């Protein structure tokens, strides 16, 4: 493929309409790609003929871990744990959903680099999380080689705190500490999203932006771009569940880091050590195929004098790895 912008995901490139003609996409893949390019998200039916059985097993296996009485239809389902991070490590069905080869192949085609899943989040209810972008939690160099896939494990009712998003917001400015006038490296944060909240609200107000709610049916999935503004609506009926799974994906041949704790302008990056869910093996931080090594001003977890014990910066970055909504 003759792509003059290999440092942009294909679906983020202004040339995507032309480049996509060279990808030999099916009509459905082309539709998903066009939706991602224009809106920053795409809805599709999750490609797994064993999905119903997997969902039943996931609910049965994970239910006790949320400390909620799911057998009582009148109980408050929001009173327990709201999420379990990285259940793929002990649940084969969570892992199978995350490592679904058809989804990985689709993402790899549309982004122009091989995708790999690196994190799962499983929810019994909605997160009720404020509007945010994932890109402040985990990003890449080159930029935007990250995405999320949210899967409905049941039909989602309006009162259950459904997912919402702002169509087209992936084209808005990417939030960084430099953009909002703060330093992130070695900073202390109660919330990795909080420093950027005012800026997101200001853009929404300036554009009179309206959000769209996703009342998904069981088995529907939503891909969203790293810079898409999204969140979880308020749950107006606490008796309802909203079982779902999020898988976050990175793409190969990138540097993986946490922008909320970084100052890119100074080359001070909270670089992540990332494992792929597909095989459990580490994916190296690379720049144009070359491993990232120590350089003046570049801070990496791998350069720590005690690599077995992450630095305070790396620890904070890891704590916020699970904070981005699905």
pLDDT in tens, the chain (326 residues): 789 999 999 999 999 999 999 999 999 999 999 999 999 999 999 999 999 999 999 999 999 999 999 999 999 999 988 899 999 999 999 999 999 999 999 999 999 999 999 999 999 999 999 999 999 999 999 999 999 999 999 999 999 999 999 999 999 999 999 999 999 998 888 788 899 999 999 999 999 999 999 999 999 999 999 999 999 999 999 999 999 999 999 999 999 999 999 999 998 999 999 999 999 999 999 999 999 864 434 444 433 222 232 333 344 444 443 444 44
Give the integer Cα–Cα distance in Å for 90 and 310. Answer: 23
* 12 is a domain residue: no
Residue 9 forms part of a structural domain: no
Q: pTM score, two decimals? A: 0.90
Asked if the structure places residue 178 within a domain, the reply is yes
Q: Cβ(273)–Cβ(138) under 8 Å?
A: no
Residue 19 in domain: no
Domain CATH code at residue 220: 2.60.120.620
Q: Is residue 124 part of a domain?
A: yes
Query: What 3 state SS string does 91-143 have?
Result: CHHHHHHHCCHHHHHHHHHHHCCCEEEEEEEEECCCCCCCCECHHHCCEEECC
Which pLDDT score is estimated for 115? 98
Cα–Cα dist 90/94, whole Å? 8
The predicted pLDDT at position 306 comes to: 27
Q: Is the peptide bond before 105 cis (omega within 30 degrees of 0)?
A: no
Tokens standing for residue 228:
């898409």
The answer to whether 155 touches 212, Cβ cutoff 8 Å, is no
Within-domain flag for 55: yes
- Domain span at residue 114 reads 40-322
- Please report the pLDDT score of residue 293 as a whole number: 66
Q: How many domains does the chain have?
A: 1
Cα–Cα distance measured from residue 185 to residue 189, given in angstroms and rounded to the nearest whole number: 11
Looking at residue 188, its pLDDT comes to: 83
Cβ atoms of 295 and 201 within 8 Å: the answer is no
First-last CA distance in the chain: 33
pLDDT at 292: 87
* CB-CB contact of 271 with 256 (8 Å): yes
Q: Is residue 24 part of a domain?
A: no
Long-range contacts of 280-285 (CB under 8 A, 24+ apart): 283/116, 283/118, 283/250, 283/252, 283/256, 285/254, 285/255, 285/256
The residue among 273, 291, 276, 249 whose CA lies nearest residue 113 is 249
Confidence at residue 281, expressed as pLDDT on a 0 to 100 scale = 95
* Within-domain flag for 26: no
């Amino acid at each position: 493929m003759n792509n003059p912008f290999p440092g942009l995901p294909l679906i983020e490139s202004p040339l995507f309409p032309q480049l996509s003609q060279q990808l030999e996409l099916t009509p459905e893949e082309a539709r998903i790609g066009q939706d991602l390019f224009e809106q920053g998200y795409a809805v599709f039916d999750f490609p797994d003929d064993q999905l119903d059985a997997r969902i039943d097993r996931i609910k049965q296996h994970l239910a006790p871990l949320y400390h909620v009485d799911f057998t009582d239809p009148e109980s408050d389902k929001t009173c327990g744990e709201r999420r379990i991070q990285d259940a793929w490590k002990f649940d084969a069905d969570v892992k199978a959903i995350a490592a679904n080869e058809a989804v990985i192949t689709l993402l790899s085609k549309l982004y122009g680099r091989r995708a790999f899943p690196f994190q799962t989040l499983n929810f019994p209810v909605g997160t009720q999380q404020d509007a945010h972008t994932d890109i402040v939690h985990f990003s890449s160099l080159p930029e935007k080689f990250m995405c999320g896939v949210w899967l409905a494990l049941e039909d989602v009712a309006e009162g259950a705190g459904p997912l919402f998003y702002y169509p087209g917001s992936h084209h808005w400015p990417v939030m960084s500490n430099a953009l909002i006038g703060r330093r992130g490296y070695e900073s202390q944060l109660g919330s990795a999203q909080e420093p950027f909240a005012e800026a997101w609200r200001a853009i929404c107000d300036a554009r009179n932006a309206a959000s769209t709610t996703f009342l998904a049916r069981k088995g529907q999935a939503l891909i969203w771009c790293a810079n898409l503004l999204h969140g979880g609506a308020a749950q107006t009926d606490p008796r309802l569940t909203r079982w779902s799974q999020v898988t976050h994906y990175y793409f190969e041949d990138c540097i993986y880091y946490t922008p909320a704790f970084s100052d890119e302008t100074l080359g001070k990056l909270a670089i992540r050590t990332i494992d792929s869910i597909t095989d459990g093996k580490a994916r190296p931080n690379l720049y144009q195929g070359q491993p990232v090594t120590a350089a003046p001003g570049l801070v990496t977890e791998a350069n720590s004098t005690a690599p077995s014990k992450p630095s305070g910066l790396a620890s904070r970055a890891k704590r916020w790895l699970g904070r981005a909504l699905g």
